[in-house]
Amino acid sequence: MDALAPLLHGFGVALQPMNLLYCFLGVLGGTLVGVLPGLGPQSAIVLLLPAAVYLDPVSAIIMLAGVYYGSMYGGSTTSILVNIPGEGASVVTCIDGYQMALRGRAGPALGIAAFGSFIAGTFGIVLLTFGAGPIGDFALRFGPPEYFALMCLCLVVLISLTGLSLRKGLIAALAGLSLGTVGMDLVTGQPRFAFGVPTLMDGVGLIPVIMGLYGVTEVLLNVEAGLKHTLVGGKIGNLMPSARDWKDAAMPIARGSLLGSACGILPGAGVVLASFLSYAVERKVSRHPERFGKGAIEGVAGPESANNAAAQCGFIPLLALGIPSNVATAILLGAFILLGVQPSPVMMMTHPDLFWGTIASMYVGNAMLLVLNLPLIGLWVQVLRVPYALLFPLILLFCLLGVYVAGRNVAEIWIMIGFGVIGYVMKRTGYEFAPLVLAMVIAPIFENALRQSLILSLGDPTIFVSRPLSATLLALAATVLVAQVLPRLRALKPALRE
Amino acid sequence: MIDTVGVHDRATRLDRLPANSIERRGAAFSAIGPAARRSSFGLVALGAAAFALWAGTVGAQESFPSKPVTLLNPLPAGGGVDTAMRGLAKEMAAILGQPVLVESRPGAGGTIAGEFLAKAKPDGYLMGLLQSTQAIPEIYAEFQKPPYSSAEISPVVRYMSLVYAMPSRAGAPWKSFSEMIAYAKANPNKVRWGRTVGLGHPLHLVSYSLMKKAGIQVIEVPFKGAADAITALLGGHIDVAFGVSTTAIAGHVAAGRMMALAIHNPARLPEMPDVPTFKEQGIDPGVPPVYNTFFVPKGTPPAAVKVLHDAVKKAIETPALKEFAAKNGILLYYGSEADVAQELKQDREVSSALVAQILKEPKKE
């Protein structure tokens, strides 16, 4: 497909001074909400929506899209420096990013996050430019059985995220899977575990849970620690990663870009899953898995690349088919409609300025983010360097605000506070959050796909293996499972002989 | 079978807390002000707030409204209803001489917003755009215990109705709704029929009524929302779906990736003149189209209700809103208090009967 001529036309649109300005405002604002824990891209886009209606549609979409992918850059900063994710997709960056910072390597961690984001983001946009049509069509081949197989694969990969204790990891994952079943049963319409609370009819929201576990818990732990330093003190140091860092991070960035793109394209998978999977994969393929959790640069480079690639590729189903792949793109879809444009397969023809202008603006925005962020990291650090007695109430405030603005629902604030307390107990007793959060994301997709498949096949389970795509994914899941279980069994053997 | 006892129980239990819970909401809302200022977007919020204050002081002092009016949306921001409300808000602001804000409080099929409205101060400054599920929550009590009852709210004016279509995948062995029904009759349990809403939702009632009246056996596949069903249709994983807005499929139909078999409306739409109604195709689901009617808390002064009613009516007649509606596939559908009362009565009868029938169905799975 010859995309060059229309892309050049798109640059003509994106480089108009007003559009450049809105692109700049969007990515800057996105980075800021990314840096501030609690406020995520969803809240920011919802807040901006009423104002966006008064802008030219092209400018408005360029700005809102900028907020979305800009927030993916900002989130890592808070994860690395304060050990609180700035937004959901930076949850795993905390693990090794913060450890790097504690070891005096905050600079390279921030640097590699920014470069990885730029490389993966650009990779995602190139895919979007040249492959929007065919890739969108391929994603459509994923019906319920394929989603079921894909989620099986995700569940198997989840095992490698369980941290030091397999037992505790599996308990957390089971808790996450159970939480994912709360809400109205899709098939029978009956409420499950909702206890008459209207909010729980829609299930336990992911945003309040993440903000509770990672935001409120962190504040609680620090109150207990007598407000000790959590923001890494001293100098950030040189942001440029060393030659050795680049060597270590190159493959994770490449793998993260590919994995993230795949997650972005598939409706429902999204940025959070992308970053978790990338971390799990990096730990699996590493020759030194013991370094993970102790400041491995791969653990920062991979997930940060993956979430940016996923954010960019999330635009493929949105722009090519009018299908939102996650909450933020669903709100963006609303913004398109509000501006009088219904995204659909014909949008490329009916609204070329908007379609190609938006895509071109992403190249510009990504370059802006890299140029902005390297020098601005100093500024973001200042934002986070507010005295702790002020910073923690502020973080709590932003968490409250972020959760409230996203849905204007007070019950979600209580859910967040509840998970703050649960998170505190989990941290004190050595449980990891990651398996719980990932299992919670997987559970509803897994369950609905399973039930939809069996309804479609009138109860015949061979539907999962008779379709090539789903059979391949299931075979892959089985292989990964065997690869994970065999070493453990081998380790058991000598013990059994005695 | 409607669990009215449960409804009353619930209502009385909540009666003990209302003031408290409203205060909490109010406090959380005002917290946005100072915090928003710290973000760059705060500027926008600040500007809007300043405008609201300014408009508040120069506007009419005595008469209603003397401060901004809020339109409550029970569905997520950015959706079709949200768009329609923002278009109306712009015109209403000009008519009332006060800013008109749109606020979304989505969740639990809209009952969260319904409860918020029912427990709000009855002063006319909050008006919610409700559909059947939120307007008469008792009907659906078996699926979802409502935290308030329709006795706590009163209708003001109908603003619009939403037109839902039945799209079919491209390449299906039929060209019209009646052909599809004939195919389904000849091939029981062959047609894969997507449902976009939960069991007992008004759109499910339409879908259910269509199947029963046609006397067909299909594979009914539930989806979490219209977007998922559209994706499955585009991928050919299902054959037809009901409960998708006409605007959401127009592009796909134009691109030849879908067929629009029929719409749920008394008449054809000007923007889709080729698409017949279900009734034209021989099967009338008998369920009223999805109405969107404004409600206020019970006890709102009649003078304020009249001002709000007149403002909506006048806004619907402005060329600007008419043009906006046509562009966005919104069917403006004014209804007076009497029209609305009649419609609510009919909805209560038809929908209650259908819900009772659904509950009698043998449980699948």
Instruction: Give the pLDDT confidence of A275-299 residue by residue, as tens digits.
Output: 988 998 898 888 888 888 888 999 9
**Per-residue pLDDT at B169:** 95
Look at residue A203 and tell me whether its pLDDT is greater than 80.
yes
Percent of residues, chain A, with pLDDT higher than 70 = 89
Domain residue limits, chain A:
4-491
A-proximal residues of B, 3-32, CB under 8 Å: 10, 21, 24-25, 28-29, 31-32
The rounded Cα A187 to chain-centroid distance in angstroms is 29
Contacts of B296 (CB under 8 A, 6+ apart): B117, B122, B124, B126, B127, B128, B153, B154, B156, B304, B305, B308
Q: Give the helix/strand (H/E) hosting B127.
A: strand B126-130
Tokens of B236: 């050919």
Out of B239, B258, B288, a domain closes at B288
Q: Based on the domain organization, do B39 and B145 belong to the same domain?
A: yes
Q: Based on the domain organization, do B174 and B62 belong to the same domain?
A: no
Cross-chain residue pair B104–A408, CB shorter than 8 Å: yes
| CATH code at position B203 | 3.40.190.10
**Per-residue pLDDT at A20:** 92
If you count residue pairs, one on A and one on B, with CB atoms under 8 Å apart, how many are there? 195
Closest residue of chain B to A35, computed from CA coordinates: B39
| CATH code at position B124 | 3.40.190.150
What does the mean pLDDT of chain B come to?
82
Q: Interhelix angle for A434-456 vs A270-285, to 10°?
A: 110
Q: What's the number of CA atoms in the CB half-sphere (13 Å) around residue B68?
A: 18
The pLDDT confidence band at residue A161, using thresholds 50, 70 and 90, is low
Q: Which whole number is the average pLDDT over A467-480?
A: 91
Cross-chain residue pair A28–B40, CB shorter than 8 Å: yes
Out of B248, B268, B288, a domain closes at B288
**Per-residue pLDDT at A33:** 83
A-proximal residues of B, 102-131, CB under 8 Å: 102-109, 111-112, 115
Q: Which whole number is the average pLDDT over B345-360?
A: 91
Q: Which whole number is the average pLDDT over B124-150?
A: 90
The answer to the question of residue B92 being in a domain is yes
Look at residue A305 and tell me whether its pLDDT is greater than 90.
yes
Q: Based on the domain organization, do B21 and B120 belong to the same domain?
A: yes
Who has greater pLDDT, A135 or A89? A89
Beta strands in A254-397 (DSSP E): none
The pLDDT confidence band at residue A335, using thresholds 50, 70 and 90, is confident
Q: Based on the domain organization, do B282 and B318 belong to the same domain?
A: no
* Min Cα separation A494/chain B (Å): 47
The pLDDT confidence band at residue A426, using thresholds 50, 70 and 90, is very high
Who has greater pLDDT, A7 or A497? A7
What are residue A172's phi and psi, to 5 degrees?
A: -65, -40
B-proximal residues of A, 468-487, CB under 8 Å: none
Q: What residues in A contact B232, CB-CB < 8 Å? A: 143-144
Cα B330 from Cα B150, distance rounded (Å): 26
The 8-class DSSP code of residue A214 comes to: I
* Partner B contacted by A390 (CB < 8 A): no
Cross-chain residue pair B363–A46, CB shorter than 8 Å: no
**Per-residue pLDDT at B39:** 42
Q: Which whole number is the average pLDDT over B318-341?
A: 90
The answer to the question of residue B230 being in a domain is yes
Q: Which whole number is the average pLDDT over A478-490?
A: 79
Look at residue A376 and tell me whether its pLDDT is greater than 90.
no
Closest residue of chain B to A458, computed from CA coordinates: B219
**Per-residue pLDDT at A102:** 85
Segment A15-69, tens digit of pLDDT = 999 999 999 999 998 888 888 776 677 777 877 776 776 788 899 999 999 998 8
Q: Give the helix/strand (H/E) hosting A157.
A: helix A144-158
The pLDDT confidence band at residue B218, using thresholds 50, 70 and 90, is very high
**Per-residue pLDDT at A393:** 84
Q: Which whole number is the average pLDDT over B108-127?
A: 92
- Shortest CB distance from B231 goes to which of A323, A343, A401? A323
**Per-residue pLDDT at B37:** 35
The pLDDT confidence band at residue A160, using thresholds 50, 70 and 90, is low
The pLDDT confidence band at residue A2, using thresholds 50, 70 and 90, is low
The answer to the question of residue B364 being in a domain is no
Closest residue of chain B to A25, computed from CA coordinates: B40
Segment A239-254, tens digit of pLDDT = 788 888 899 999 999 9
* Partner A contacted by B147 (CB < 8 A): yes
**Per-residue pLDDT at B354:** 93
User: Which has the closest alpha carbon to B259: B333, B185, B176?
Assistant: B176
Q: What residues in A contact B103, CB-CB < 8 Å? A: 408
Residue B155: strand pairing partners: B295
Cross-chain residue pair A199–B107, CB shorter than 8 Å: yes
**Per-residue pLDDT at B47:** 54
Mutate one of A141, A321, A405 to test the B interface: name it (highest B CB count within 10 A). A321
Closest residue of chain A to B7, computed from CA coordinates: A196
Q: Based on the domain organization, do B8 and B44 belong to the same domain?
A: yes
Tokens of B227: 């977007």
Cα B293 from Cα B281, distance rounded (Å): 28
Q: Based on the domain organization, do B140 and B182 belong to the same domain?
A: no
What are residue A296's phi and psi, to 5 degrees?
A: -80, 125
Q: What residues in A contact B102, CB-CB < 8 Å? A: 50
Cross-chain residue pair B107–A201, CB shorter than 8 Å: yes
DSSP B304-349: HHHHHHHHHHHHHHSHHHHHHHHHHT-EEEEE-HHHHHHHHHHHHH
Q: Based on the domain organization, do B18 and B105 belong to the same domain?
A: yes
**Per-residue pLDDT at A163:** 61
**Per-residue pLDDT at A178:** 95
Segment B51-97, tens digit of pLDDT = 544 444 444 445 899 999 999 999 877 677 888 898 999 999 999 99
Out of B235, B269, B288, a domain closes at B288
Cross-chain residue pair A452–B223, CB shorter than 8 Å: yes
* Partner A contacted by B39 (CB < 8 A): yes
* Min Cα separation A340/chain B (Å): 6
The answer to the question of residue B365 being in a domain is no
Closest residue of chain B to A137, computed from CA coordinates: B235
**Per-residue pLDDT at B180:** 96
Q: Based on the domain organization, do B274 and B302 belong to the same domain?
A: no
DSSP A453-476: HHHHTTT-TTHHHHSHHHHHHHHH
Amino acid at A168: K
Look at residue A451 and tell me whether its pLDDT is greater than 80.
yes
Of A23-37, A221-235, A443-457, B167-181, the one with minimum mean pLDDT is A221-235
**In this structure, are residues B251 and B213 in contact, taking their beta carbons and an 8 Å threshold?**
no
**Per-residue pLDDT at A256:** 93
Q: Based on the domain organization, do B143 and B235 belong to the same domain?
A: no
The pLDDT confidence band at residue B264, using thresholds 50, 70 and 90, is very high
Closest residue of chain B to A202, computed from CA coordinates: B108
The rounded Cα A411 to chain-centroid distance in angstroms is 24
Closest residue of chain B to A183, computed from CA coordinates: B108
Look at residue A423 and tell me whether its pLDDT is greater than 90.
yes
Look at residue A162 and tell me whether its pLDDT is greater than 90.
no
Q: Based on the domain organization, do B255 and B341 belong to the same domain?
A: no
Cross-chain residue pair B247–A347, CB shorter than 8 Å: no
* Min Cα separation A65/chain B (Å): 14
Look at residue B6 and tell me whether its pLDDT is greater than 70.
no
Q: What residues in A contact B86, CB-CB < 8 Å? A: 50, 53, 338
Q: Which whole number is the average pLDDT over A302-321?
A: 87
Q: Based on the domain organization, do B31 and B125 belong to the same domain?
A: yes
* Min Cα separation A7/chain B (Å): 22
Cross-chain residue pair B251–A458, CB shorter than 8 Å: no
Checking phi first, is residue B256 left (phi over 0); if not, alpha (psi -120 to 50) or beta?
A: left
Look at residue B134 and tell me whether its pLDDT is greater than 90.
yes
Q: Is the peptide bond before A289 cis (omega within 30 degrees of 0)?
A: no
Cα B154 from Cα B162, distance rounded (Å): 21
Task: Please give the residue range of the domain that contains residue B84.
Answer: 4-156+294-354
Cross-chain residue pair A47–B36, CB shorter than 8 Å: yes
Q: Which whole number is the average pLDDT over A379-403?
A: 78
Q: Based on the domain organization, do B9 and B149 belong to the same domain?
A: yes
Q: Interhelix angle for A166-179 vs A434-456, to 10°?
A: 50
Cross-chain residue pair B192–A198, CB shorter than 8 Å: no
**Per-residue pLDDT at B327:** 78
Closest residue of chain B to A328, computed from CA coordinates: B78
